[in-house]
Amino acid sequence: MSKSDVFHLGLTKADLQGATLAIVPGDPERVEKIARLMENPVKLAAHREFTSWRAELDGKPVIVCSTGIGGPSTSIAVEELAQLGVRTFLRIGTTGAIQNHINVGDVLVTTAAVRLDGASLHFAPMEFPAVADFACTTALVEAAKAVGATTHIGVTASSDTFYPGQERYDTFSGRVVRRFKESMQEWQEMGVMNYEMESATLLTMCASQGLRAGMVAGVIVNRTQQEIPNAETMKQTESHAVKIVVEAARRLI
């Protein structure tokens, strides 16, 4: 194993070449796709769920690093990248919408998250808001408009679990604990746009520590209509969201 300056990512500060912005997808397979939309992409490391590349936008270094699924692994990636000098984090993901008016293929920019996780409590009490940075949010909205995406801006429900926390009944037991029964309807009534699994941790962690974070996600399913996404739709939506996050990064570096 090569020498690194942090515990999990396998990176040194020298690897970043002064990068202060990181694009953080969940899926390691998205990292190379994102990096290759920029100039001079170079693979840096791959360990467990954390795959990282460095690339350049307008001559400035940008890191792309996967976080894996959920808050705990996201907190590791963000913490170690911050130790290495990153101060701005742009998350890109896919999501399930829960509002009727949001269509598959649309793009969601998260302004804040409902904290249905546990990891965010390790950084701030529940009273502290999981809120996105204004400059990051603005850059993502402008980038989405620039590429012609139908964009929705608002609140995301961020759950530790994919099944019970998002009130899914298509499970082995078919059971959802009392706390989450009818919770999706409640979030819908409050105007919450979607479910995902990382934004509560990312936004709480960054907002409480003087870091900047923003979040964009492509809609691959609307749960008011169906639960299982189409593979081709997933591919197209992911490609759209990736272009948006790269353009937003260009506006922020």
So which residues are the catalytic ones? Answer: 8, 80, 168, 223
Residue 154 CB-half CA count within 13 A: 16
Cβ atoms within 10 Å of 147's Cβ, excluding its own: 14
Q: Are strands 50-57 and 60-65 parallel, antiparallel or unpaired?
A: antiparallel
| Alpha carbon separation from 148 to 105, 142, 143, 145, 218 (Å, rounded) | 12, 10, 9, 5, 13
Characterise 69 by phi-psi region: left (phi > 0), alpha (psi -120 to 50), beta (else).
Answer: beta
- Could you tell me if 89 and 213 are in contact, meaning their C-beta atoms sit under 8 angstroms apart? yes
Integer Cα distance of 253 and 250 in angstroms: 6
